[in-house]
Amino acid sequence: MEELSSRWIVQPGEVHIRLDQYLARHITGTSRSQVQAWIRAAEILVNGARTKTGYLVRPGDEIILHRRAEPPPLLRPEQLPVTVIYQDGDLAVIDKPAGMVCHVGAGVRSGTLVNALLHHLGPIEAGDPVRPGIVHRLDKLSSGLMVVAKNNPSHQALSRQFQSRRVSKEYLALVYGRPTPPAGTIDLPLGRDPKNRKKMSVHARRSRNAVTHYAVEREYGPWTLLRIRIETGRTHQIRVHLAHKGHPIVGDKLYGGNRSRTLRLAFLREALEHFQRVFLHSHRLEFHHPSSGDLVSFTSPLPSELEDFLKSIQQ
CATH superfamily of 2-69: RNA-binding S4 domain (3.10.290.10)
The residues, any chain, with a CB within 8 Å of residue 164's CB and separated by 6 or more, are none
Cβ atoms of 226 and 199 within 8 Å: the answer is no
pLDDT at 259: 74
CATH number at 169-282+308-312: 3.30.2350.10
Q: Are β-strands 2-9 and 143-149 bridged in parallel, bridged antiparallel, or unpaired?
A: unpaired
Report d(CA 148, CA 38) in Å as an integer: 24
Whether 235 contacts 200, CB under 8 Å:
yes
Backbone angles phi, psi at 304, to 5 degrees: -60, -35
- How far apart (Å, rounded) are the C-alpha atoms in residues 124 and 152? 10
**pLDDT for 73:** 64
Task: Report domain extents, the chain.
Answer: 2-69, 73-164, 169-282+308-312
187 part of the active site: no
Angle subtended by helix axes 32-40 and 19-26, to nearest 10: 120
Q: What is the CATH number of domain 73-164?
A: 3.30.2350.10
Specify the pLDDT at position 107: 67
Active-site choice (20, 61, 128, 139): 139
- The reply to whether 2-69 and 169-282+308-312 are identical in fold is no
Question: Does the pTM exceed 0.75?
Answer: yes
Q: Splitting the chain (315 residues) into consecutive groups of 10 residues, what average pLDDT does each group show?
A: 69 84 78 80 86 88 77 78 94 94 74 90 86 89 95 92 93 96 96 86 89 96 95 93 96 84 80 89 97 96 95 84
Spatial distance between the Cα atoms of 14 and 120, rounded to a whole number of angstroms: 40
